[in-house]
Structure 1
Amino acid sequence: MRFLKTILLAFLLLVNLVMAQPAWADQSKFINSPDYQDVTAQIEALLQAQSNPDAKTNPAEVKQKLASLQTLKYIMETSEERATCSNESGKTLGVYLQAENAAADQAPTLYYLGDGETTDDDFSCTGVYLPSGTKVAFALSEPAIALKEPLALRIVEGTQLTVKTNPETGAVELNLPPAQILKSGEGNLEIPTLAQADIDALQPNAPED
């Protein structure tokens, strides 16, 4: 009887291992990404600066930056899904998508996502495009600013980003912080010079769920 119980216990452990393996595989993929290594390094550097009495840092800024980075780190450690972008802004939104089988060095493509739509999870949403003149709050705790130039907001893999427009302020708001805020000529994302009116006149072409 004891032998049978041992066999049964071993079988149950094996089943649990097999069931959990896909989640581990996805998690490991994000943890081994360059973004994860970069975010971890930034967190360590900020923690060292925070503990160094000679470092000339703004405690409030360091605290806010740490909170954003720790959020990104948590996303990559726990998410089992590719990054998606949902548009609840009331306007057409520029999104950067990369196909699942794309080469690692292939630049994401800029698509346009209709209001109320979410990008197809066969693609990874790597960020969103904001044209010049957009009123945006990069964090819910920050005041909104009007952009003087177009920007690309890059997000990390695993992020489930939602872009909304605050009905009271008219500012675009993100539910999660971006990993990078890029200007034209920075990074590998196409950042065209467009107005929101130009984008709204385009036919949405982003693959959707």
Structure 2
Amino acid sequence: MKIWKSLLIVLMIFLNLAFAQPSFADRPKFSKNPDYVEVTKALKQLTQAKKAKTQIAGVTPEEIQKKIDELEFQKYALETGINWGQCENQTGNTIAVYGKAANEEEDDDAAYENGLYFLADGQSTQNNWDCDGFYLPNDAQLAALTPNGEIQEFTEPVAIKIPDGSKLTIKTNPENAAIEINIPNAEIVKANEVNWFIPNVSQALIDTRVPNAPIEKS
């Protein structure tokens, strides 16, 4: 009788290990995520600059700390398995954002790695729907991506790419109408640098589009 009980216990342990193992195997390998590598690199550089009290032109110690705080939260989000970004529109206009539809995740025949969707003013993209960034209209100006926040103008179409694990807030500066964002490590990309559809259109045309991005319900 004792032998059968012992065998039963061994069998239960074996079955438990057999079913539990995949849960460990499925853990996200965040250290290999390109966004995690970039976030860690940027965080290290800013932290070293702060410790060494290195002056960055046009950036106050308080602003450096704010960027460090944002990067630390991005790093934590990626470490806890959040592999998507969220975009919030506070510009006063419709904006074009990039992301994948659920039925496009495994479409090998797609011309681009993501789609272009339209997000109405005051809306945020849905949780778990990966917003990769947004399109900058050809008549728009961009601020806050340079150390001193100077206004940037572009002679060719560009998009703004954000890392996973971050929430992008897009605003319009009321004084100069420039687009401002809160992500310090966002990246300006051109059509020849990423497989995204980056058109050459104005804000007026985007305002005529019907909003169709998946959004958070209030």
Please indicate the TM-score interval, normalised by the length of the shorter structure.
Answer: 0.5 to 0.7
Q: 1:42 to 1:166 in 2, by over 3 A?
A: closer
Distance 1:68 1:155, change over 3 A: farther
**Mapped pair 1:153 → 2:191:** no
Once the two structures are superposed, the pairs formed by residues 39-54 of structure 1 within 5 Å of their partners are 39-40=39-40
Question: In structure 2, what is the Cα distance between the partners aligned to 1:167 and 1:31?
Answer: 40
- CA change 1:85–1:93 in 2 (3 A) is same
Which residue matches 2:93?
Answer: 91
Q: Assess, with a 3 A threshold, how the Cα gap between structure 1 residues 130 and 68 changes in structure 2: closer, same or farther.
A: farther
What are the residue-to-residue correspondences of 1:91-170 with 2, within 5 Å?
91-99=93-101, 102-103=105-106, 107-139=113-145, 141-170=148-177
User: 1:42 offset after TM fit, Å?
Assistant: 6.4
- Structure 1: how far apart are the matches of 2:193 and 2:70? 21
Deviations 1:114-134 (A, max 9, x none): 111111113111111101120
In structure 2, runs of 5+ residues without a counterpart are: 1-26
In terms of Rg, which structure is larger?
A: 2
CA change 1:128–1:30 in 2 (3 A) is farther
User: Which amino acid in the other structure matches residue 34 of structure 1?
Assistant: P
Structure 1 residues 29 and 200: CA distance shift in structure 2, 3 A: farther
Measured against aligned partners, the alpha-carbon deviations of 1:97-148 in whole angstroms (never above 9, x if no partner) come to 1356825987121111111111111311111110112021034841223333
The separation in 2 between residues aligned to 1:124 and 1:118, in whole angstroms, is: 12
1:145 is paired with a residue whose SS is coil
Deviation at 1:149, TM superposition (A): 2.5
Aligned equivalent of 2:188 = 181
CA distance in 2, matches of 1:103, 1:59: 46
Q: Deviations over 1:159-185 (max 9, x none)?
A: 111001111221110011243210122
**What does 1:23-102 align with in structure 2 at a 5 Å threshold?**
30-40=30-40, 60=56, 73-79=71-77, 81=82, 82-99=84-101, 102=105
Secondary structure in 1 matching 2:98: strand
Give the aligned CA root-mean-square deviation in angstroms. Answer: 3.5
TM superposition shift of 1:72: 6.7
- Confirm or deny: 8 A CA contact 1:87 1:115 kept in the other structure: yes
When the two structures are superposed, what TM-score results if normalisation uses the length of structure 1? 0.67
TM-score relative to the length of structure 2: 0.65
Q: 2:72 is aligned with what amino acid? A: Y
Q: Does 1:203 align with 2:210?
A: yes
How many aligned positions are there? 173
**Could you list the per-position Cα deviations for residues 149-207 of structure 1 after superposition, in whole angstroms to 9, with x for gaps in the alignment?**
22111111111110011112211100112432101221122111111111111111111
> Equivalents in 2 of 1:189, 1:109: separation in Å?
8
Partners in 2 of 1:165 and 1:75 — Cα distance?
A: 24
Alignment CA distance shift 1:118-1:104 (3 Å) = same
